[in-house]
Amino acid sequence: MAIPLYNRDLSWLSFNHRVLQMAADPQVPLYERIKFLSIFSSNLDEFFRVRMPAILAINKVLERDPDAAGEESPTPETLQEVMDTINRQQEEYGKIFTGMLLPAMQQQGITLFYGTGLAPELAARTRAYFQATVQAWLLPVWLSHRHKKFFPENNALYLVVTVSPQGTPDKQEIVLVNIPSGLKRFLTLDAPDGQFHIAFLDDIIRAHLPYLFRGYIIHHSYCIKLTRNAEIDMDEMKGDVLEEVETMIRKRELGVPTRFLYDASMPLSLRNFLAGQFEAADNEMVPGGRYHNLKDLADLPMPAGLSGALYPKARPVVQPEAAAADYLLDLIQRKDLLLHLPYEQYDPVLRFFSEAAVDPDVEEIYVTLYRIASGSQIAQALISAAQNGKAVTVFVELKARFDEANNIRWSKKMKEAGVKLIYSIPGMKVHAKTALVKRRRGYLWDYSGLIATGNFNESTARFYTDHVLFTAHTGITREMELLFLYLQSREQPMAYHFLQFEHLLVAQFNMLTRFTDMIDREIANAQKGLPAKVTVKINNLQEKSMIAKLYEARQAGVEVDLIVRSINCLQTGIPESDGIRIVRIVDRYLEHARVFIFHNNGHEEVYMGSADWMNRNLHRRIEVCVPVYDAALRQQLKDIISLQLADSHQAQQAIQAYVQNIV
């Protein structure tokens, strides 16, 4: 029987719409609302780079063979529904920006010239800036003169300018002028009226095109942007892994177009000419406004001293036991610790690696790194550890989309320092967030483990909500060691089928089975008339068998509560899902933690880890979830989840207060 599923792409678009709604919320500070517009635009760019190629490809297949659709395949109507949804959201975006935020900025004495041209009294300043700074960056490309096709950069901005030689106005030519990404998108301008004026770089270039085209009549200029396919198959790699990934990154920037974004006021004849030049299909042509790349709004200048325009400065609290301990590794041997980010300081994670790097008794360090911070203290600590003579083994996932180049850069540095590097397993990503430190104690060893729901990345730790468990539990740490032994083999999981994990849930080995068994146990309890409940917090819910199991649980009388931030393919409004509570939280921080709570007739089991319930996580990745055995730490996770289920709008403030109270 077919399992009712909601389309993943439409679900993701509804999430991005929730981001857009934050920009319309008057309770959100002004410049934070502008940042939400930036996030919406950045998210949509990634959608066109990653998901749209798959939708277009499936659409082409179904046009040739309508019977080729699988149970989860989008129908031919899906593409149109996706584009209609995006167009509605873009229209709403414009109304929020021009109808709400620009007037709100005016009330604060801020003028952003948006489609109105620059004020004449500012002409001298903008001309000087153009002549001294901007002009040197401009590279006009005369499309009507070229015999060879021009290849626009991915997501770069260009002005399409139509010009005619003076004296022959009917002889129009088409020129592409880059809007330099190496310059700031916005220029602040002092003005006699006391207003804080901001101009788009685009408009500064438009206003001074006569300096670029002397002897020509300038007719019109329109902004365009091409987004290219980024979904390169990096699963099957052989030979020198670093070289192959570096090559694939370069190819990504040369991918086929998935969106040609153009100014909707552009005439059809010019649009068709450009589509032919850049090999963009009709369904890849997307009308837009005068400005593109509005993700740059994240860098919109703000007047000094403007009050109430940002969220109040958050002050992460100190984890008191870690702060009081002279040696964190010794404290972990005595008790488990649980860190709640970003409400608590990230210092204990940094200390974990820093202490291990210099402790004379530490002999071995193991860690998985998925997205490394650009200025990573953790990577630097691992380099120091290797230079101090310790055996440091690091699994670096080179296929972490859009972070490959940064991961490669750090990989080379660590390798030079003597760190043993393990690279990507063919056909599989390692998404687990785990670290293990081994210290010699005479003839014995002690083990300190670190398992997190998010990356070991001190940059994202400031605004991603995650949990980090420090533990010396013998069963957990020994299984972590087994996992690292497996990762060093770089073999497929079936070659290591004999590995048995009793404490850890490890995707490819026991995770899917154990999650299914724990839900089945709740179903059995409900059928016996016992209390039964499943509570899950994840980023994405898409895997078919897990959705089917949640339907089955609810039909059996199990209470099901879900916090799903982004993609949610569980179909609501149908009998199978009746009574399932679903909460989506979009707020100041990015909800990123994965937590799983099973009632178990009062003997609750609580897990946390890296795994979402998606096909890729449960079937094509190495993920790790860990049981939280300490009763007090379990209660902390349960309390935080309860706060989020109770109030999806002010949950951030409630959790901040809760964490301050428990420490």
Band (pLDDT 50/70/90 cuts) for residue 633 is: very high
The 10s digit of each residue's pLDDT in 346-400 is 999 999 999 999 999 999 999 999 888 888 999 999 999 999 999 999 998 776 4
Residue after which a domain boundary falls, among 272, 301, 330:
301
Determine, yes or no, domain membership for 344: yes
Q: Is the pLDDT of residue 406 over 80?
A: no
Same domain, 621 and 553: yes
Q: Is the pLDDT of residue 60 over 80?
A: no
pLDDT on residue 119: 78
Determine, yes or no, domain membership for 179: yes
The 10s digit of each residue's pLDDT in 418-437 is 999 988 777 788 899 999 99
Tokens of 207: 């206003």
Q: Which residues are annotated as a binding site?
A: 43, 371, 401, 464, 565, 592
Tokens of 193: 């009226």
Same domain, 553 and 627: yes
Query: Any idea what the CATH number is for the domain that residue 199 is in?
Result: 3.30.1840.10
Q: Which residues are annotated as a binding site for Mg(2+)?
A: 371, 401
| Angstrom distances, CA of residue 619 to CA of 325, 368, 513, 539, 594 | 41, 19, 12, 17, 17
pLDDT on residue 147: 63
Question: What does the DSSP assignment read for 332-381?
Answer: HHH--EEEEETTB-SHHHHHHHHHHHH-TTEEEEEEEESS--TT-HHHHH
Q: Is the pLDDT of residue 249 over 50?
A: no
Determine, yes or no, domain membership for 456: yes
The 10s digit of each residue's pLDDT in 24-59 is 999 999 999 999 999 999 999 989 888 887 777 777
Among 396-400, 618-622, 651-655, the minimum mean pLDDT is found in 651-655
Determine, yes or no, domain membership for 198: yes
50 or 401: which carries more pLDDT confidence? 50
pLDDT on residue 231: 55
pLDDT on residue 10: 95
Number of domains in the chain: 4
pLDDT on residue 396: 85
The H or E element containing residue 204 is helix 201-207
pLDDT on residue 239: 45
The 10s digit of each residue's pLDDT in 90-99 is 999 999 999 9
Q: Which domain holds residue 582?
A: 506-662
Same domain, 247 and 128: yes
Is-contact 307 279, C-beta < 8 A? Answer: no
496 or 165: which carries more pLDDT confidence? 165
Question: Number of C-alpha atoms within 13 angstroms, CB side, residue 333?
Answer: 12
Q: Is the pLDDT of residue 255 over 70?
A: no
Same domain, 267 and 158: yes
Same domain, 233 and 180: yes
Residue after which a domain boundary falls, among 108, 123, 155:
108
pLDDT on residue 236: 42
Query: Any idea what the CATH number is for the domain that residue 479 is in?
Result: 3.30.870.10
The H or E element containing residue 563 is strand 559-564
Task: Note if 431 is an active site residue.
Answer: yes
Query: Any idea what the CATH number is for the domain that residue 54 is in?
Result: 1.20.58.310
Same domain, 96 and 70: yes
Residue after which a domain boundary falls, among 77, 108, 139:
108
Q: Is 609 helix (H, G, I), strand (E, B) or coil?
A: strand
Q: Is the pLDDT of residue 402 over 60?
A: no
406 or 663: which carries more pLDDT confidence? 406
Mean pLDDT of 254-283: 87
pLDDT on residue 634: 98
Same domain, 58 and 172: no
Mean pLDDT of 557-570: 96
Same domain, 587 and 611: yes
Band (pLDDT 50/70/90 cuts) for residue 235 is: very low
pLDDT on residue 153: 87
Q: Is the pLDDT of residue 232 over 60?
A: no
pLDDT on residue 423: 80
Determine, yes or no, domain membership for 260: yes
**At how many degrees (to 10) do helices 30-50 and 8-24 cross?**
160
The 10s digit of each residue's pLDDT in 149-196 is 788 888 899 999 999 999 887 888 999 999 999 999 999 987 777 789
Q: Which residues are annotated as a binding site for ATP?
A: 43, 464, 565, 592
Same domain, 354 and 486: yes
Mean pLDDT of 519-529: 98
Determine, yes or no, domain membership for 587: yes
Q: Is the pLDDT of residue 502 over 70?
A: yes
Measure the CA–CA gap between 359 and 472, rounded to whole angstroms.
17
The CB-based long-range contact list for 120-124 (8 Å cut-off, 24+ gap) reads 121/191, 121/192, 122/189, 122/191, 122/197, 122/199, 123/207
Amino acid at 623: E
Determine, yes or no, domain membership for 314: no
Q: Is the pLDDT of residue 652 over 80?
A: no
pTM: 0.90
Measure the CA–CA gap between 582 and 536, rounded to whole angstroms.
10
Determine, yes or no, domain membership for 311: no
Same domain, 517 and 485: no
Compute the CA torsion angle 479, 482, 484, 485 (nearest 10 deg): 170
pLDDT on residue 233: 46
Same domain, 463 and 332: yes
Same domain, 460 and 533: no
The single residue of 431, 467, 473, 599 carrying the catalytic annotation is 431
pLDDT on residue 66: 62
pLDDT on residue 115: 83
Tokens of 196: 């804080």
Band (pLDDT 50/70/90 cuts) for residue 301 is: very high
